[in-house]
């Protein structure tokens, strides 16, 4: 039994030495983002660069509201924007995804719609 334990101990030491020598002598691989699985192989495109429009389901249109006043929105410009007729904010639809940020609505604001709404009252 003592001989067996000595053999196991010796084998463990030899294995550890081989492991250390192998890691010390091996050349380090370059940090490649595509191999790590963390970063995509192609750069991510900004949603601002995505084309306007895209299909939105009618069920989604029924539940979407303006993030500022929580009122209903209308689909305008051949399905490229969602319009809040009360304040003129137009939220872009990019690749079928509505960008429901108040900043985006203000950026694409349609002042003519607000003027018509105020003139009608």
Q: What's the CATH class of domain 50-120?
A: mainly beta
Alpha helices (runs of H) in 26-110, residue ranges in sequence order: 33-36, 58-63, 102-107
Reported as a pLDDT band with limits 50, 70 and 90, residue 29 is: low
Alpha helices (runs of H) in 1-121, residue ranges in sequence order: 2-25, 33-36, 58-63, 102-107, 111-120
8 A C-beta contact, residue 63 and residue 73: no
Q: Which long-range contacts (CB under 8 A, 24 or more apart) does 105-112 make?
A: 105/66, 105/67, 105/68, 108/81, 110/83, 112/88
User: Which of 8-12, 22-26, 108-112 is least confident?
Assistant: 22-26
Sheet-wide strand order for 74-76: 74-76, 81-83, 90-94, 97-98
The arithmetic mean of pLDDT across residues 72-79, rounded, is: 90
Q: Is the pLDDT of residue 106 over 80?
A: yes
Q: Which residue has the higher pLDDT, 118 or 91?
A: 91
- pLDDT confidence of residue 1: 84
Q: Convert the pLDDT of each residue in 53-67 to its tens digit.
A: 888 888 988 999 999
The structure tokens listed for 109 are 């604001």
Q: Is the pLDDT of residue 34 over 60?
A: no
Q: How far apart are CA 64 and CA 74, in angstroms?
A: 10
């Amino acid at each position: 039994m003592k001989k067996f334990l000595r053999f196991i101990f010796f084998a463990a030491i030899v294995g550890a030495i081989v492991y250390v020598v192998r890691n010390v002598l091996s050349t380090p691989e370059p940090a490649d983002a595509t191999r790590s699985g963390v970063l995509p192989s192609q750069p991510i495109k900004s949603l601002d660069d995505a084309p306007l429009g895209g299909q939105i389901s009618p069920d989604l249109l029924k539940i979407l509201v303006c993030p500022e006043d929580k009122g209903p929105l209308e689909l305008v410009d051949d399905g490229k924007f969602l319009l809040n007729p009360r304040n003129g904010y137009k939220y872009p639809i990019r690749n079928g995804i509505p960008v429901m940020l108040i900043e985006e609505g203000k950026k694409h604001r349609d002042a003519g719609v607000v003027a018509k709404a105020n003139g009608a009252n």
